[in-house]
Structure 1
């Protein structure tokens, strides 16, 4: 495939930068610059678990010997390409600044990408079981459509004062494709805030209307972007912020458009051919675990030995510990994280955390009946009452005149306290520990480099990609400030023009909390692919700050969580644009456009579904169209548990789960000894121990289960450790494109299976549900039924809060 002329980072005539060819006799300035660069690499080794130890050894050797020529040669090598083999394998180190980006064709396809997939995903989110059209699906489908438009659109030009306009500026190029991909990444997921008006309608008997939903959704979605400008210096420009999640996407885009990467040009099959072969294989294979033989997906083979043996099912089952992950479904394997994208050191930390907390602590607590947990399932995201049933919040609430609810202490004291399953209790503790641990860890391990980045100009320490991006204008700060003002105004308008019981100062606190965590969580995310979630801490804060206000709780939680999560999503996508050399101003416009249109589409589709689908969000839907809104009701139950009953019922002094709050203290202290040991032994394994990753990597448990982490460990060990170490040439060329093929092929097949075979009523659906042994055997086990170890005695396993002396 012929490419347009490209500009390498070191081209002295075209780029304005010094030549990459080191002189035989380097001058003093070049030596000083090289030594400064190498000193930073050596000093920052404990900050950067992804750096190649061989590079550090070469830098130390050159500095110790005082070999100026070797110093300059190594410095030039590091300047002309990324020092990270992962980035060299996935990202091209050349650019074509004349390649068109903001074409009519790109924005037309982008508009389709931010209307159709978000609308379909929002509709499917109301159904259980469901599926999702991911960004990989859009990236793959856009490519042939773009190539088709390249052939059929007219090439005539219209001259305007702003330049020439044309429907067809030439070949459908990688920057257009990248811009469309970024739009799809910003809008494909269902917006978290859409749950708020849905819960108010179906749980609290309020109907705030479309305007409220649009305002609250746009506000929470866009607030994060307004903080992204302040994070670019720390989370986008530095070469060390690699964002492993973006590498398969970058590899896919480069491969589809025939762009080479410096570490991926070895002999053998082209990446383009490799991708389509494995895409086809995975697409066809997915029909077996996804429809024909679903036992291949569940993988609880050992449970069939004794289907009613609860301990056996809990140890080897798909819904519990999943000790032997015999699943062959890539959708299940990659549910928690992509094992071919995350670095091995992060996956090893994840496995260490899983082994310690879920293979040791959870069974120890469960089988010793700590907090009566033998009467509950080992793994579940629900809370239970003293009868072993899911907690019935209607028994502890009273309906008031406006149709809302208030907490009833009398009802609570005579009914039951809340009991949480073992895995959920441990997950709470880990969430608390991760929240404080990430702040301490980043302050100790990355504080010096962050302070240096804050004080020094951006141009001081640049890798090739940052240097290439200097030719493009940055988005002015006033754009971000204007966006913040607009998003903040929409949030205030929503909470004061509709009944929310949310004071303005609580809204401000939610924003400040979320913004505070963007940097520390972003650093860990960029290095490890692991993000510390703020769900639990946000519920805890608002539960104590404004007890008895469930709607305020939902808005506070969503705002605090989304300011951080969505802000980091914006930053991550800006890093992808950084890799693909898409101008920052185009990226900003695309992100605002995609987020705004996608959010409006999702609210409108949701409102249409509520008004037009029969039995939507009711129990009757389970037997008709399955639009039961299960996720919405989980969100609504959380609003009652944390907003009405409040955390004081579980975590106040003297309450059963009070000791879980020690997670905050232990999390804050845990990184300190690791940091001291890594400073004392800088070349040891201690520099790879990351306590926030250990605490948060298993954060999806529950609803995720042990199998989804042990499977990641197996695949990660094979590809990210064994193959990367012993077959590095193959790994650099094919690892990330294989990841893209696995994700794309399995996801598209899952979408086809859902719409063609599972969704329509008829024999195909019946075969999927109960067609033969391979689709039913796994369902007839204690594992599938989430059976607890002990049966609850008549009258409950404990007394009421009044009888236990735990009243509110």
Structure 2
């Protein structure tokens, strides 16, 4: 089957004949079959380095390919060795990359054109603005990069048809508004500008929480400095780490493959061969189907989305609702027809099957097996709370009232705390914190053991020494000077100090510097795991933990530390992922640098302005009474974290003698588990043990809560069908269409949800028959213990535990 795919992929690569320019495969030529020992030794060293040495640390490497290399080396079959070497020269060693990325380039194709800049800047304004508005609404939806990618194509083609082709001469050189047909590199620049801006800005939650939770506002100066600094400072780090995270072939970045597959389909870089439906047609059919279908689960019949069908049998049976419910339950039977539910934790068609299996294994053990045992035994008084919720609670089972433990100057009030209540977490939230602790030590140990040698070797490697076809094709374009990244870092560093010291934030400058150091330290190990698995280890919890211990009592200071520490890594890795996208699409690195910095800077101002308008003009925003469901669920989670870690501090939850102290053992478990896996994989290098990835297991369930069980059970079912069954049994179909289908499902569903919101839900007086009427299909799921978050035990009127200042029984 593997040979069938190789033959098919070789036959399907075709030239992009948009402008008639010559194309370059980047090969160093066919490897000559020479009979001298030095040549054979060179080939064997290459194969050993590229395949055999990666068996343990690269779960994406095809086992069949490694076995073929081992067999050829053992037999000393030089012809077979040369054939394998030639295959490596011509294309990527990874099936996922071969299926989605073209191995040709046209260096004469322009990228930074007027069309690219115009469309890219428009997207950098519209996409983040709309997404920031929709961010406050539940269920949240957004315009993703794939939507921008799809819309940009006809716009670019139209501009190529109507713009004048006249060449203008200026003292700085000649230029034209229309250099010819709209090409794939222009399109990539546009998508990159949308990519870096569509996700919003984490820092804006600081200003939102200040206004919503603590009722004060420091104005535009503070949030502009904070946002620009935190959004861009990670970019300079990405520039430093690109030799580890962008250049190597093993850093495949699975989340990019949907975009590259769609790009090659739209621009005709890859043909599927005679007798097969073209990739573009497949995309179009699935896109239209997804767009039309989402009207049912997203608007007409929302029970199809929620999927808690079995709860309707006994809506007041608490245990049944907690096991099969999808709002505050484990959702063990995945009966949802909503792609948003199936892809909430990531597109299941992009994430490699081995990574999905690791995540689901962690979910089963921690949340299906261990979680219910602890819950029904009432460990940590958790049975008095919903099984799954992301907020903190008081001893009466109500949401924690932060105003009772806050002074007039927004600091911690010890007397109010002693008279009120400790904070209590749902069992799933507590376990999610434990997994987060384990992921921090786990990612360091795993990266050191499985990738340490490669990291050290790569420190001295330049892009010219990379043997990957895509790295060789990029040799034609000059790299970005390190000085550019250094200057950018210094500017953002100054902005960060200004935001911390210019207002009474409670964040000392030394703490700001510490946040940057921690983020930079973790970026490489986290990036390696993210690039191979599509699962990112987040630093949000550990950053809260650190600042909560070393500088407690200031919610704003905690939020800022978290933004700088977490965003230095998260935003930096987002830039690195986009650099790899440009690497795959053969965009000159300096063009990428300019496009990314421009887009993120412009979008930051847009996001700040839209948020200020929303908080000032939408009635009852961020409350349960908000119009059009602008309840700000994600912002409230951010605010809850500021209470737990900043205002009250982790010492009152995790220190010796406190109720959640035992969760700190997770740090030790996180360090030991990958060491055990590494030792076992060294003993049995060809067994399934080599595919066990501790950081992926620990961090894969990091979205739960606010995600619920159904987001994992439905995700794994889809992933099993596409990335296990179809990849093995219908390999040709999978190679042609898997990533295109994933892109179509994402794009069609996202566009449909945006259309429904702006055309049917948001306008006053429209769509009320379905949204606010009496139709059973949109109401039945709400009248359940699952939807109401009913706990297993009812809290007593005087609370299930004494207040901190009261006498505690022995």
* Partner Cα separation in structure 1 for residue 210 and residue 313 of structure 2: 46
* Partner Cα separation in structure 1 for residue 622 and residue 358 of structure 2: 42
Structure-to-structure mapping, 1:528-567, within 5 angstroms = 528-567=533-572
* Partner Cα separation in structure 2 for residue 36 and residue 160 of structure 1: 53
Do the aligned partners of residues 738 and 658 (structure 1) sit closer, same or farther apart at CA in structure 2, a change above 3 Å counting? same
Do the aligned partners of residues 304 and 235 (structure 1) sit closer, same or farther apart at CA in structure 2, a change above 3 Å counting? same
2:19–2:180 CA contact under 8 A, matched in 1: no
2:628–2:761 CA contact under 8 A, matched in 1: no
**Matching residue within 102, 106, 114 for 1:92:** 102
TM (norm. structure 1) is 0.95
Find out whether 1:501 has 2:506 as its counterpart: yes
Q: Secondary structure at the match of 1:259?
A: coil
- Deviation, structure 1 residue 135: 1.1
- Deviation, structure 1 residue 9: 5.4
- Deviation, structure 1 residue 516: 0.6
2:292–2:752 CA contact under 8 A, matched in 1: yes
Find out whether 1:412 has 2:417 as its counterpart: yes
Q: Secondary structure at the match of 1:159?
A: strand
* Partner Cα separation in structure 1 for residue 622 and residue 458 of structure 2: 53
Q: Secondary structure at the match of 2:175?
A: strand
Q: Secondary structure at the match of 1:794?
A: coil
1:321–1:705 CA contact under 8 A, matched in 2: yes
**Matching residue within 748, 761, 766 for 2:764:** 761
1:297 is aligned to 305
1:726 is aligned to 729
Find out whether 1:141 has 2:146 as its counterpart: no
Say which is worse superposed, 487-496 or 636-645, in terms of deviation: 636-645
Do the aligned partners of residues 488 and 616 (structure 1) sit closer, same or farther apart at CA in structure 2, a change above 3 Å counting? farther
**Matching residue within 285, 301, 304 for 1:277:** 285
Find out whether 1:268 has 2:271 as its counterpart: no
* Partner Cα separation in structure 2 for residue 443 and residue 793 of structure 1: 50
**Matching residue within 486, 490, 493 for 1:488:** 493
* Partner Cα separation in structure 2 for residue 647 and residue 392 of structure 1: 17
Find out whether 1:735 has 2:745 as its counterpart: no
Find out whether 1:518 has 2:528 as its counterpart: no
- Deviation, structure 1 residue 79: 1.7
**Matching residue within 120, 124, 128 for 1:114:** 124
Q: Deviations over 1:493-535 (max 9, x none)?
A: 1222222122111100000001111110111101100000111
**Matching residue within 589, 592, 597 for 1:592:** 597
Q: Deviations over 1:333-382 (max 9, x none)?
A: 10011111111000010111011001101111111111111110000001
2:719 is aligned to 716
* Partner Cα separation in structure 1 for residue 760 and residue 488 of structure 2: 44
**Matching residue within 330, 340, 364 for 1:321:** 330
Q: Secondary structure at the match of 2:393?
A: coil
Find out whether 1:426 has 2:457 as its counterpart: no
2:5 is aligned to none
1:175 is aligned to 185
Q: Secondary structure at the match of 1:169?
A: coil
Do the aligned partners of residues 618 and 329 (structure 1) sit closer, same or farther apart at CA in structure 2, a change above 3 Å counting? closer
1:346 is aligned to 355
Q: Secondary structure at the match of 2:396?
A: coil
Structure-to-structure mapping, 1:444-455, within 5 angstroms = 444-455=449-460
Structure-to-structure mapping, 1:110-259, within 5 angstroms = 110-259=120-269
- Deviation, structure 1 residue 160: 3.1
**Matching residue within 337, 341, 344 for 1:332:** 341
Do the aligned partners of residues 478 and 804 (structure 1) sit closer, same or farther apart at CA in structure 2, a change above 3 Å counting? farther
* Partner Cα separation in structure 2 for residue 5 and residue 740 of structure 1: 29
1:388 is aligned to 397
1:788 is aligned to 791
Q: Deviations over 1:311-334 (max 9, x none)?
A: 111111112111110101001110
Do the aligned partners of residues 100 and 236 (structure 1) sit closer, same or farther apart at CA in structure 2, a change above 3 Å counting? same
Q: Secondary structure at the match of 1:114?
A: helix
Q: Which runs of 4+ in 1 moved over 6 A?
A: none
1:295–1:775 CA contact under 8 A, matched in 2: yes
1:250–1:579 CA contact under 8 A, matched in 2: yes
1:644 is aligned to 647
Q: Deviations over 1:205-224 (max 9, x none)?
A: 43221122111100000110
- Deviation, structure 1 residue 158: 0.6
| Structure 1: runs of 5 or more not aligned | none
Find out whether 1:3 has 2:18 as its counterpart: yes
* Partner Cα separation in structure 2 for residue 205 and residue 313 of structure 1: 37
2:230–2:563 CA contact under 8 A, matched in 1: yes
| Structure 2: runs of 5 or more not aligned | 1-15
**Matching residue within 443, 465, 472 for 1:460:** 465
Do the aligned partners of residues 499 and 265 (structure 1) sit closer, same or farther apart at CA in structure 2, a change above 3 Å counting? farther
Q: Secondary structure at the match of 1:702?
A: coil
